Amino acid sequence: MKLSRLTPLLLCLPTALLADPIDRDSALKLPDTLISANRQVEDRTQSSAANTVFTRDDIDRLQPSSVTDLLTRVPGVQVAPTGGRGSVPGIYIRGSKTAQSLVLVDGVRIANATSGDSGLQFLNIDQIERVEVLRGSRSAVYGSDAIGGVIQIFTRRSAQEGLQPRLRLAAGSNQTWQRSLGLSGGDQDTRFNLGASLDESAGIDWSHTSYPSDGDHDAYRNKSFNLSLSHNFSDEIEAGLNLLDSRGRSEYDNPYGRFDMDTFQSFGQAPYTDYTVSSLGTYLGTQLNEHWYSRLEVGHSENRDKKRDKLSSDSSEFNTYRDSASWQNDLTLDEQNSLMIGADWYQDRVHGSTDFDEDSRWNRAAFIQHRFKGEWFSTELGLRRDQNQQFGGQNTWSGSLTLPVNPDNDLLLSYSEGFRAPTFNDLYYPQYSNPNLKPERSKSYELQWRSQLGADSRLETSIYRTDLRDAIIFGEGSIPRNVASARINGFEAALHQQWFGWQSNLGLALIDPRDRDSGHTLARRARRTLSLDLDRQFDQLGLGASWQAVSSSYDDEANSNSLGGYGLLGLRSSWTLNPEIKLDLKVDNLLDKAYSRALYTYEGTQYGYREEGRTWLLGITWTPAL
């Protein structure tokens, strides 16, 4: 990571705007808080955004193999990878495509500016403290890309004094080996977390054997490093930084092979990707007075992707470098009214083996949001203005109304606008681009009902509609155009309940995503999804099970290639031998279901990219007391 690029920005930070008095590190441990919706700590139930939160305790209990595995438990979120570990996943929040949802790591954008992919598949779950998912547009707060929603990853934190070391070792199917170690701690004023991990797997064969070289297993290797540091200069002043770096190698199959223009023959390949996804964020802020809190953040991220072939000299490289800065002011006007005012700036630069007509662009924005909380109703109204070097200005606004029916039931009505700026590939890729593209735009309408059914039972439901226009598709000659429009209707329900000592989380989503011109269902979006997690702790023994059901879908926009539905069952357990040692065991896809979430065609025949069958993983975690 090129930290030198941050030096000019750091020198420009006003010394009066230092840190956040709100203990965010502690808030990240709590399941009932939310940060991403308004970029400040708030009660989850008070936010206007439909949201799902996973804390580190949830991650340890659910034992997901990856961030994308965790996201499949969110109602309204679908994940469609093109193979096993390390494959590029399609992530569809409320029917929107991958590039139409914003992904942040500690407040820093990490998506590749050429393809729009975020690289979530490369983030190691051991380095993550918390995951927040917002469903529905938040462009009035974040600007471009937040049409479908926002996914924010928070890296590991310390919220205790003293030193807390940790060591984890795990082994499992497909020659999987996982090692991670960390040290966190601090005192009343300073906190830190330092962690490193190595994750390796021989993988599976992703595709049907088109060439002999395709018959091998596609291995995956991930090395990750995380550092967080915060310091309180006084009761009002804090500063800190958060660093995450993930890099490694992911092998994959190319069932189409490599075509040699000299001999007019096709040859097999053994391709792989050397990748890096990294982010660095620093913050300074202060409680200027009783009513005014100010926070300034500076960030840098890199998304690097270099593809090579073991059987030839073929290679390609696409790298994104992004610098960013954000200044936010939270003003408490009185007991009922508050105001959020801020400004954002970021600049993207791309570099690689392909020469683009333009290789950088900046974006400046200002935003304001007013919130009123009364006895009979509450409101939220936000407006944002983005000015982009490539496409000019864009206004987005959002509004919500909350009606407390009674102490246990709330109704929320909301309207929000969103947009997505075209990628560098859309605009400048040689011979396959269109520099005149406009941003994709959306309008969303939503009705939520939130009910505290009992002391141990809570239900949250949403009915929504999203209208998308100026959608970018690739027309004749693979040239992108702003011609498509889509309409997405959906229903979501999340039920959290405890009964007879069991903790259950049920997520249900019904969706009707259609191309308005053809009437066809949007590709790789299943109409019905369901997830269920059951867990119980018996003193030292923990038991859990997961069930995921996904209906059929289409792999193409013409709805001619069908993907079958599937159901997956997983079991997990943990055993606390003593306060320092814990064992865990999980079995995914217990019934060894064969299924595919994406297709490809070879010599006129369709094949599905393979997913892992029945797998197991046994791990041990040691947290010695110092």
Our count of domains for the chain comes to 1
> CA 149, CA 223: separation in Å to the nearest integer?
28
Among residues 617, 609, 522, 616, the alpha carbon closest in space to that of 89 is found at 609
So what's the pLDDT on residue 14?
37
The string of pLDDT tens digits covering residues 340-355 is 999 999 999 999 999 9
Q: Cβ neighbours of residue 338 under 8 Å, at least 6 residues apart?
A: 330, 331, 332, 370, 371
So what's the pLDDT on residue 21?
42
> CA 116, CA 100: separation in Å to the nearest integer?
8
So what's the pLDDT on residue 8?
41
Strand-pairing partners, residue 409, are 406, 451
Residue 501: which CATH number? Answer: 2.40.170.20
Q: What percent of the chain has pLDDT over 70?
A: 95
Residue-wise burial string across 582-602, b where 16 or more C-beta atoms lie within 10 A, e elsewhere: bebbbbbbbeeeebbbbbbeb
Q: For residue 106, how far is the Cα from the chain centroid?
A: 11
Q: Can you read off the two tokens belonging to residue 543?
A: 């038991």
Q: Can you read off the two tokens belonging to residue 84?
A: 């096993």
Q: Can you read off the two tokens belonging to residue 379?
A: 């409101």
So what's the pLDDT on residue 475?
66
Residues of the chain with pLDDT under 50: 1-21
> CA 132, CA 450: separation in Å to the nearest integer?
18
Q: For residue 187, how far is the Cα from the chain centroid?
A: 32
Please give the residue range of the domain that contains residue 466. 3-622
